[in-house]
Structure 1
Amino acid sequence: MRVLAHPNTEEIRLEAVLHALADPMRLEVVRFLATTADGAACSEIDLAVSKSTGTHHYRVLREAGVINQVYRGTAKINSLRRTDLDALFPGLLDSVISAASRRSRR
């Protein structure tokens, strides 16, 4: 079974999280995952970028500690690390998701 590297909770750094959340495509991934209870495969999240660019965005989010990725068969299932992020940076994730949602409605 293939396992992807993720930072431990204590290794997650604010500057890495903010960098990961600064990109509009990555924000779309986070907004989508915030609405799912069981996570979602990469193919379920419609990004207007090439597959290789999408892979890059998921890797940045995973390495920053924003998302968790696990293989289920050949698909990568993505979920937010909400518990970890809320413990480290209370309110950050909700504020960013709320601001991104307001902006997308304009």
Structure 2
Amino acid sequence: MDSGELEHPPAEELQVGPILLALADDNRRRVVAELYERSDGERLCASFDLPVSKSSRTRHWRVLREAGLVHQRSIGNGLYMRLRKDDLESRFPGLIQAVVGAP
């Protein structure tokens, strides 16, 4: 792994347990829902309006990435995040749509 590159679990290793644990948090579920609604599926991490500290945001991003829900990439000084829609739909059909559609 190159310096500055983040580790992401391969699609075939995604597990429903860590995904559901990550989605149990309202802030993380909101981030996933917002990414799900984007046509390009990608957004600057700093653009999310979450009512938490910067360190808490960083933790939320890590939990989402390690669960396999998002892919993060660094461009210049920015960190971008996108939902792994295709991987998730292939591995767990309908799960993300059901979660983001829930009240």
Q: TM-score by structure 2 length?
A: 0.93
**Aligned 8 A contact 2:11 2:68 in 1:** yes
Q: Which consecutive unaligned segments of at least 5 residues does structure 2 have? A: none
Structure-2 change in CA distance of 1:93 and 1:4 (3 Å): same
- 2:87 aligns with 84
Total equivalences in the alignment = 100
Q: Are 2:64 and 1:72 equivalent residues in the alignment?
A: no
Q: Give the Cα separation in 2 of the matches to 1:71 and 1:3.
A: 7
Identical columns (%): 42
Q: Give the Cα separation in 2 of the matches to 1:70 and 1:27.
A: 20
Q: TM-score by structure 1 length?
A: 0.90
Within a 5 Å distance, the mapping from 1:5-84 to structure 2 comes to: 5-36=7-38, 37-84=40-87
SS at 1:34 equivalent: helix
- 1:94 aligns with 97
Where do 4+ consecutive residues of structure 1 move more than 2 Å? none
Question: How far 1:34 moved relative to its partner?
Answer: 1.1
Note the aligned Cα RMSD (angstroms).
1.0
Q: Which consecutive unaligned segments of at least 5 residues does structure 1 have? A: none
The residue identity in structure 2 corresponding to 1:4 is L
The residue identity in structure 1 corresponding to 2:98 is S
